Structure 1
Amino acid sequence: MKTKNVPALVSKYVLDMLLKNIEDRTVSIIGDNTFNNNVSQKVLKPLVTTQERIILSSGRMLQLMLLKDETTFAHHPSLMIGHIGKYAKFFARHVKVDYPYGDKSIFQDMYELNATILFLGEPTHVP
């Protein structure tokens, strides 16, 4: 989710509201994939640590989520996806072959769990 066009305090407010009373729910935040998919940066990516990549590929809301100890991350080749809540560990489980989309992907898992997706801000591009 590209949230740089969403005011910082709005990002914090929305995240706080999503995490309120989360006992039986999971909040997943999908980061910006332009950093991970930018061909011109392929040469530089090996010089970036995992922690640096998390920050560089994250919008404000995902960065705020990083401050929470219970945050887990999905294994996905192009997206940074953070989770807190009931299914967080399920979404972060390790799989031998990481399919980004399709039958064995985290998105299929979300579909099967009848997830609701909320987009914030103006769309920057449609893949």
Structure 2
Amino acid sequence: MRALLIVLIIIALIIAVIVAGTWWLRTGRHQATPWVVEGYALTNSSATAMSLHDTNIKRFNTEGLKLGGVAWRINDGPWNERGSCLRPLETRRHVRVGVIETPGGRSRYLLAWVQCLD
């Protein structure tokens, strides 16, 4: 009888760990859906930041965004992790970008990816 009780406790613990692990995997990671914004980018002198202009979503007009570490590609080419398709002091480069809205902090929006269209 005591051995049966121990086996049942072990089975209950295994089930609890599986349920807790499944719950953590489903809710523990945040997945943000970016806004897909198309417009024209102007970069700073070191191409570490850009501003958007004439965008299809007006809330992002003149919004400043950091470029560091952002995946990028030219047209439908391969995605790149290093460098950028935007150059220093570039004016009016046609782009499509993924922008994620953050709940707080210093920058309200984060750049998820950049696609240079011309």
Query: Structure 1-normalised TM-score?
Result: 0.24
The answer to which structure has the higher strand fraction is 2
Query: Structure 2-normalised TM-score?
Result: 0.25
The answer to which structure has the higher helix fraction is 1
Higher alpha-carbon Rg: 2
